Amino acid sequence: MDHSFLADVSDARHVDGFGKKGIGLHWLAKHRLRIPNTLVATYSAGEMIERDSQTGFAKLKDALKDRLEGGELYAVRSSANLEDDKELSFAGQFLSRTNVQGLDAVIDAIRDVLNSSRSETLQPYMKKLGEKGKELKMAVLIQEMVPPVISGVVFSKNPTTGLDEAVIEAVHGLGEALMQDGVTPQRWIYRWGQFTAKPESEAEFESVIREIANEARRIQKLYGSPVDLEWAYDGKSVYWLQVRPITALTNVPLYSNRISREVLPGIIKPLIASVNIPLVNTAWIRLFDSLMGTTHLKPEDLTSLFHYRAYFNMGAIGTIFEILGFPREGLEMLLGFKRESKRPPFSPSLKTFRHIPRILGFAARAWTYDRNVKAELTEFEKHIQKTQTENIKSLSSRELLAKIDEHFMFNTLVAYQNIVIPILMSIYNAILRSQLKRAGVEFVDFNLTDGLPQVEDYDPNHHLDEMHNKFNELPQPVQEKIRTLGYRELKSLPEAGSFLQLADEFIKRFGHLSESGNDFSKTPWREEPDKVIRMALDHAVSARDRQKTTWETLKASAFLRMQMRPIYQRARTFRLLRERISSIYTSSYGWFRVYFNELSERLTKNGVLDARDDIFYLTWQEVRSLVEGTGNVQELKKKIQTHKDNIERSRDIVLPEIIYGNAAPPLDLLKSDANKLTGIPTSSGYYQGRLKVVRSNEDFHRVEKGDVIVIPFSDVAWTPLFAKAGAVVAESGGILSHSSIVAREYGIPCVVSVNGACNLPDGSDIIVDGYQGAVSVLEA
């Protein structure tokens, strides 16, 4: 007989009354994934029982009588409309009964599940839900038990870091042990077809876990978002018991310094960051927009500073990867994750094909790019020459600000070419590298610039060679005298004339260079001519490329040489263009120092700044406010000192290559002298606070708002503690343990499976790293 209050989980007619778990099982069945036989007592059953309990249960019992197998064991589980949501899971709030046998026992279990929807322990959740809590409806699943050898949960995406990897946790026997007191599951992490973490003792189940991980990734694609799935393995087959979106999952921002530490290394002062980051990123965004249309990216989306170090936002770059059809795995390879199997393939999506006309247009322009860009570079050089001959002393401070604005806009054009030209050079080099390999020559053994002396004009080493050789040609007494004199004293030494002439030419050509071309707070060579003299005297003459294969000595067939010649010529052309644009960029960008130094001298003379270099500890906008008279001088002086103090404190720390989230790791966490324990990170974030060891409910009263609670385990009765906690550390548990789920819902860091955590000294100052699973005790 057909009943609206009792239906098979595959019956689409009544699915609206199934509740979240029931709808998930219906979805699995619809997609032909293996699930246990399941009946659903729908919302209508609950409403019928609420109206008249005795009559309602009698009707339900009568309907179940012919649907249940007499000797079968069942799991009777809740399926509410509000549980297993992306925001709230109601972890452990509703009862479930397992190994239930017989009709009367099933009815009793259904009664218990329905009653649990009205329990006192629900109040914290209902308070969070507000008016929505009044909409709570309960269905009940009656599911045939799968006798599991092992069972557990799989997350198709890491819920803590957001990385594209499957996380699997398992226990022997029933999976509900994952939620029980003191149970720590076995854990696997599966990325790119291989395990990056796995237990040593469970090798016999590795093939099953691999199957589960791969199937979870497939289910994620079908589902349309990251999921966690409960599963059971009976020794023969894997059964899916539940599917749901990963609760409280957000796209955790990922930042990496793998690239940024090369182009913007070391400590970045506020003024440098406020000029360089928008300047360079504006140029990058121009390139992205030309390839993909408007991306709506902003300069600040691409780069952030953590403890005054530059990190690239890999999430924003990952979005560009996906638009262009590269899998996000490619992004994770940029992050430094190693892959033993083949590299992820180029996998264009339908969205990718929208961009093909632009990409092809860019490729077509690239072949003739040098013809147009040469004229543009000449105009750049003329503009820079004019800029560097201007008398800025005659300008007012407000006029200087206008000059800086103008210089910034000009440098966005230069920066764009300083990105595009090296990219095109790399493309041509890659093609030539492949062609040379066919001729049996490695690219590193090939002299690309043979017969191209213009390249040496942009190479300071070549000019230092000339200075060093000229120095060695001088009589020994003159050499000894030069070693004792500075640059200015050499002006009065006639015997050093030829050497000094080369030094002057060197300073004129390369005086804009410093130890970091992107940091104009660093003193350039033109301001330290004595250093240039020392470099020339101590210089080791550069090794030449005479032993390398040249185009003339290349042994290749006439046909291969004919194929290679156009690419060889373009690679040479763009190598020279790269040297030229690099020189233009560093020279022009370095002129920001001249402008800001002039402003600094005026502000220091007027008492607005205490020292000339203080300007580098303010942002561009803050400098503008001082010049325009709108800034609070005393507040900005305090800010300068704060930056100086913070930079000094962070000077010697070693930051991680990858930072998860938008918050900088606490400085104390990065110090090597902290007493650290490790566990499994299950809810992301950083938190520093006072440690409170809570061993039982008798300790609940000791917890104050913001404390880090350290617990042996938790279950539903511990939920009220989480509303006060700033972070959670547990001695046991896994990613699906009660403490982990509730911590994610409250948005607080959580680290579980931390051995000995409850032995930490109560009241200690502690830092919890919910990304890496570190627990650091700073002071007992």
543 CB-near residues (< 8 Å, 6+ apart): none
pLDDT interval class at 526 (50, 70, 90): very high
**Which tens digits make up the pLDDT trace of 384-427?**
999 999 999 999 999 999 999 999 999 999 999 999 999 899 88
- Contact, 414 vs 408, CB < 8 A? no
Q: Which pLDDT belongs to residue 628?
A: 95
66 CB-near residues (< 8 Å, 6+ apart): none
CB atoms within 10 A of CB 248: 20
Distance CA 280, CA 299 (A): 8
Q: Coil, helix or strand for 192? A: coil
Angle, vertex CA 327, rays to CA 326 and CA 328, nearest 5: 120
Q: Which pLDDT belongs to residue 343?
A: 47
Q: Are strands 708-711 and 727-730 parallel, antiparallel or unpaired?
A: parallel
pLDDT at residue 86 above 60?
no
pLDDT at residue 338 above 90?
no
Cβ-count burial 590-627 (b if 16+ within 10 Å, e if not): bbbbbbbbbbbebbbeeebbeeeebbbbbbbebbbbbb
Q: Which pLDDT belongs to residue 155?
A: 92
- The DSSP symbol for 265 reads -
Q: Nearest Cα to 537, choosing from 482, 495, 478, 493?
A: 482
Q: Which two tokens stand for residue 447?
A: 């002299």
- Tell me which residue has tokens 């659903």: 40
- Contact, 464 vs 425, CB < 8 A? no
**Which tens digits make up the pLDDT trace of 607-636?**
999 999 999 999 999 999 999 999 999 999
Looking at residues 759-774, what average pLDDT do you find? 90
Q: Which pLDDT belongs to residue 532?
A: 92
**Which tens digits make up the pLDDT trace of 252-305?**
778 888 777 767 888 899 999 999 999 999 999 998 888 777 888 899 988 999
Task: Tell me the longest C-alpha to C-alpha distance in the chain.
Answer: 117
Q: Which pLDDT belongs to residue 193?
A: 82
Looking at residues 294-322, what average pLDDT do you find? 84
Residue 56 has phi, psi (to 5 degrees) of: -60, -45
Q: Nearest Cα to 600, choosing from 617, 581, 578?
A: 617
pLDDT at residue 246 above 50?
yes
Q: Which pLDDT belongs to residue 742?
A: 84
Q: Which two tokens stand for residue 134?
A: 């009044």
- Contact, 17 vs 23, CB < 8 A? no
Q: Which pLDDT belongs to residue 241?
A: 93
pLDDT at residue 318 above 80?
no
Q: Which pLDDT belongs to residue 128?
A: 65
- Contact, 77 vs 143, CB < 8 A? yes
CB atoms within 10 A of CB 469: 13
pLDDT interval class at 581 (50, 70, 90): very high
Q: Which pLDDT belongs to residue 334?
A: 54
- Tell me which residue has tokens 């303010």: 618
pLDDT interval class at 345 (50, 70, 90): very low
Instruction: Provide the percentage of residues in the chain whose pLDDT is more than 90.
Output: 50
Distance CA 83, CA 126 (A): 12
- The DSSP symbol for 446 reads B
Adjacent-strand bridge partners of 171:
151
Residue type, 288: F
Q: Are strands 194-197 and 138-144 parallel, antiparallel or unpaired?
A: unpaired
Q: Which pLDDT belongs to residue 127?
A: 67
**Burial of 291 from C-beta contacts in 10 A (0-12 / 13-18 / 19+):** middle
* Residue scoring higher pLDDT (234 or 128): 234
pLDDT at residue 179 above 70?
no
Distance CA 409, CA 406 (A): 5
Alpha helices in 539-590 (DSSP H): 558-589
- Tell me which residue has tokens 């938190």: 687
Distance of CA 417 to the CA centre of its chain: 27
